[in-house]
Amino acid sequence: MKRIIYPIFALLMVFSVSDAQSQCNPEEHTNTCIPKLSTGFNFLKSYKVDGQGGNKDKVEYSYVFTKGTQYMINVCGPGGNTDGIVINLYDSQRNKVGTSLHDGQALAAFVYPCSTTGIYYIAYTFDGSTSYCGGSALGFKR
């Protein structure tokens, strides 16, 4: 009987460990990120960044930015750091406006004073991420 039970038990353990590794709880990270928006920035949106354990190389959202408004986007991963999650901003023509990747390091926040009202694409990519899981917040100030 033991001969049957042990392999099944071992198999279940493998599944549960791999399941835990691929599980991502972005809300936990967005909740960390929202209060980290700098003073003066009002919260607008929170975004889930779930790279599905590396199966997705990009997670993208869009938002209409308004001329004359400053926007801050931050990102939080496990352990309170970015875990290699990079913020990339593109304008409505898909031209890259900027990135939080600086000298090979994914910075925790990105500020953009908008000069042209339009749809902007916020794309999160992964640079050496281990969890592929995080959260992000978007704030604004006039």
Residue 44 engages other proteins in binding (rule: CB under 8 A): yes
Among 100, 125, 131, 136, which residue sits at the site for other proteins (rule: CB under 8 A)?
Answer: 100
**Of positions 25, 38, 52, 130, contacts other proteins by CB under 8 A:** 38
d(C-alpha 109, C-alpha 128), whole Å:
17
The residues in 68-97 that bind other proteins, with binding defined as CB under 8 A, are: 68-69, 72, 87, 89, 91-92, 97
| One residue of 16, 18, 25, 66 binding other proteins per CB under 8 A | 66
Does 56 engage in binding with other proteins (CB under 8 A)?
Answer: no
Residue 60 sits at φ, ψ, to 5 deg, of -130, 140
Instruction: Find where tokens 């917040």 sit.
Output: 137
User: Are 75 and 48 a contacting pair, CB within 8 Å?
Assistant: no
Contact 51, 129 (CB under 8 A): yes
Could you say which of 67, 80, 128, 130 contacts other proteins (CB under 8 A)?
A: 67
Q: Is 54 in the site for other proteins (CB under 8 A)?
A: no
Establish if 116 lies at the interface with other proteins (CB under 8 A).
Answer: yes
Helix (H, G, I), strand (E, B) or coil at 110: strand
Residue with tokens 């592929």: 132
Q: Which tokens in the block code for residue 24?
A: 């991502």
CB 89 within 8 Å of CB 121: yes
Q: Is 99 in the site for other proteins (CB under 8 A)?
A: yes
By CB under 8 A, name the binding residues for other proteins.
34, 37-38, 42-46, 61-69, 72, 87, 89, 91-92, 97-100, 102, 107-113, 115-119, 140, 142
